[in-house]
Amino acid sequence: MNEILSINNVSKRYGHVKALNNVSLQINKGEIYGILGPNGSGKTTTLGIILGALNPDMGSYSWNGNRPTKFDRKKIGSLLETPNFYPYLSARQNLSIACKIKGVSENEVDRVLTKLDLLYRADSKFKTFSLGMKQRLAIASALLGNPETLVLDEPSNGLDPQGIADIRNVILDLANQGKTIIMASHILDEVEKICTHVAILKLGNLLTYGPIESVLNNQAKVVVSSENIVLLERVLAQIDGVSHVRKNGDKLSLILATGKDGAYLNKALFEEGIVVSEISIQKSDLESNFLELIK
Amino acid sequence: MLKLLKIEYKKIIPYSTFWVIFGLFFFFTPFFFYGLGQIKLDSFPIDFTAIYHFPEVWNNITYIASWFNLLIGMLLVILVCNEFSFKTFRQHVIDGQSKSDFILSKILLSSSFSFLTTFYLFLIVGILGFVSGSDGSFLTDIKYLLIYFVQSLGYMSLGLIIAIVIRSSALAIIMFTFSIFFESVLSYLVPDAIAQFLPLEIISNLTPVPTPKGIQVAVLVDAIPLNTSLMIAGIYILAFWGISFLTLSYKDVK
């Protein structure tokens, strides 16, 4: 079986704030899955739940088709929200504790420190590290034991441009080894450059998900106008494949599902008795699609 | 289990607070105990050096050391709160420890602290007792060491539950100290029959105030026999551990 992670109808509240609303997602082996969304959309909550730190109010999840246990987590390299280490211990001492918990050989410590370019500071206390070094140490810790699955929450947080490029290469390198990576990010560019798949969250709702090109690229943004714009808006809402209809001056913009084109839309409108005065398909780009989706 | 304890010591051996607090305990316990034996009162001819003699020495030293048990209790509070403030508890969970592993680690750590301090008292008594040339039997009343062990575990189990509920170091230490005062006051407000069963009352009375030889003391009515006290203390300790686990398992790991 190919399925690594399955999230089924998971919901989570903090007081009266709905952090996650009935989210379901399947992630298969070898996919680099980006969880994309603005701040406060539920990315970290999702990762916290699949890593056993947060209890979902409803729903369930499974790793490799089984009920989750601590033994699954030992085999997953994870970074959740912030780098968490003992400030008074050195990088090496901190990683050696992580090795003991995960049950991997302590020889791994030097390997991961080298990979993240931290070996020269191996014996410095964690509290003397800069923000970027702390982040790199957290990623080094996630690599202990060379896990087949990685869960990384905003991996490039706090890094300078060079650091971001380095981390990106580390992740791409892991991806080339066939590992499964689940990565939360609010940076579209990062997801676009690294991920094969993407899920978009907004205010706890899963808006869309799938292979990155079908989610972000293939949906065409269309602008239409007609004499009776109120009627046009009402009719558009009933046409299959049309979503995100929005008023834009005296025109309406919308997103047309994959596989549908302007001719399809024009025909559908004509059948409803609407004569279109303007219809134009705007060349889609990732960013505008994304912004449109999370509007 | 041994693996969990090893991880705990990996965390604390480089931690200076651990050494400072144990240093205080290791220094002040014999310092006070020795000093007490050197007291000379002109108007009151008691030979205080008798506190070093067997078998009373066991009761005497465990009573003195019981005051310093609070220090070790505070150390445990700090160590547990650190796991929350450094968020290392959360990291351990996502790295593959369960919440019960976490509680078990802290129980093992507490037990090892109790063992260390108890063994230390055994060494002091061995040295002081023999140096002062006691005539009593060495093993008589050595049961006080067991009692002391349970008592120190008792204070640490209280520390554990307070740390897990409160999570912030400063506040938890204040609550830990305050709970002792609070219970002393409470024990005056409720009938004695109930007061004597309050957890800290049970735990602190495990090492009773020694009655020096040669002083006629009003015989205090000791309502609860020692064995019963030990048993009740054991139940409290288990309850504190159990509640700590339940508290942790229902909460999100933040």
CB B212 within 8 A of CB B59: no
Annotation: CATH topology of A218-294:
Alpha-Beta Plaits (3.30.70)
β-pairing verdict for A197-202 and A32-36:
parallel
* pLDDT above 90: residue A257: no
> Using CA atoms, how far apart are residues B226 and B224, in angstroms rounded to an integer?
6
Looking at CA atoms only, how far is residue B154 from chain A in angstroms?
Answer: 27
**pLDDT on residue B173:** 93
pLDDT in tens, A119-167: 999 999 999 999 999 999 999 999 999 999 999 999 988 889 998 998 9
**What residue ranges do the domains of chain A occupy?**
3-215, 218-294
Angle between helices A262-271 and A229-236 (to 10 degrees): 110
**pLDDT on residue A189:** 83
Beta-carbon separation of A100 and B3 below 8 A: yes
> Using CA atoms, how far apart are residues A190 and A34, in angstroms rounded to an integer?
9
* pLDDT above 80: residue A271: yes
Residue to substitute from B15, B78, B80, B91, interface A, most A β-carbons within 10 A: B91
Annotation: CATH topology of A3-215:
Rossmann fold (3.40.50)
The DSSP secondary structure of B76-104, one letter per residue, reads HHHHHHHHHHTTHHHHHHHHT--HHHHHH
Q: Per-residue pLDDT averaged across A183-210, rounded? A: 89
- Who among A55, A86, A100 is closest to B6 (CB)? A100
> Using CA atoms, how far apart are residues B82 and B84, in angstroms rounded to an integer?
5
Give the domain range for residue B57: 2-250
Our count of domains for chain B comes to: 1
**pLDDT on residue B179:** 87
Residue to substitute from A63, A73, A93, A112, interface B, most B β-carbons within 10 A: A73
Angle between helices B99-131 and B56-85 (to 10 degrees): 150
Residue to substitute from A49, A63, A84, A129, interface B, most B β-carbons within 10 A: A84
Reading chain B (254 residues) residue by residue, the pLDDT tens digits are 899 999 999 999 999 999 999 999 999 998 988 888 787 777 777 777 777 777 778 888 888 888 888 899 999 999 999 999 999 999 999 999 999 999 999 999 999 999 999 999 989 888 876 776 666 667 777 888 898 999 999 999 999 999 999 999 999 999 999 988 888 788 788 787 777 777 777 777 777 766 655 444 444 445 577 788 888 899 999 999 999 999 998 888 87
Which band of pLDDT confidence, cut at 50, 70 and 90, is reported for residue A284? low
**pLDDT on residue A285:** 63
Looking at CA atoms only, how far is residue A286 from chain B in angstroms?
Answer: 33
H-run or E-run covering A247: strand A242-248
Residue B177: name the closest of B159, B150, B199 by CA. Answer: B159
**pLDDT on residue B215:** 43
pLDDT in tens, A158-186: 889 998 998 999 999 999 999 999 999 98
Per DSSP, the three-state class of A67 is coil
* Residue B210 vs residue A71, higher pLDDT: A71
**pLDDT on residue B211:** 61
Q: Which residues of B touch A (CB under 8 A)?
A: 3, 6-7, 10-11, 14-16, 82, 86-88, 90-98, 101, 250, 252-254
**pLDDT on residue B221:** 46
**pLDDT on residue B135:** 61
Beta-carbon separation of A71 and B96 below 8 A: yes
Instruction: Name the closest residue on chain A to residue B7, using Cα atoms.
Output: A97
Instruction: Name the closest residue on chain A to residue B105, using Cα atoms.
Output: A101
**Which chain B residues contact residue A48 at CB under 8 A?**
252-253
- Who among A48, A70, A82 is closest to B96 (CB)? A70
**Which chain A residues contact residue B14 at CB under 8 A?**
88-89, 93
Looking at CA atoms only, how far is residue A85 from chain B in angstroms?
Answer: 6
**Which chain A residues contact residue B96 at CB under 8 A?**
70-71, 73-75, 101-103
Looking at CA atoms only, how far is residue B254 from chain A in angstroms?
Answer: 7
Structure tokens at B153: 């575990």
Beta-carbon separation of A73 and B95 below 8 A: yes
Which band of pLDDT confidence, cut at 50, 70 and 90, is reported for residue A261? confident
Sequence-distant (6+) residues with CB within 8 A of A260 are A220, A241
**Which chain A residues contact residue B252 at CB under 8 A?**
48, 53-55
User: For chain A, what is the mean pLDDT?
Assistant: 89
pLDDT in tens, A34-50: 999 888 899 999 999 99
Going across the sheet that includes A220-226, the strands are A242-248, A251-256, A220-226, A276-282
Beta-carbon separation of A51 and B87 below 8 A: no
- Who among B94, B96, B101 is closest to A80 (CB)? B94
* pLDDT above 90: residue A228: no
User: What phi-psi label fits residue B242: left (phi over 0), alpha (psi between -120 and 50 degrees) or beta?
Assistant: alpha
Query: In sequence order, what are the beta bridge partners of A36?
Result: A185, A200
**pLDDT on residue B219:** 44
Beta-carbon separation of B86 and A48 below 8 A: no
Instruction: Name the closest residue on chain A to residue B93, using Cα atoms.
Output: A53
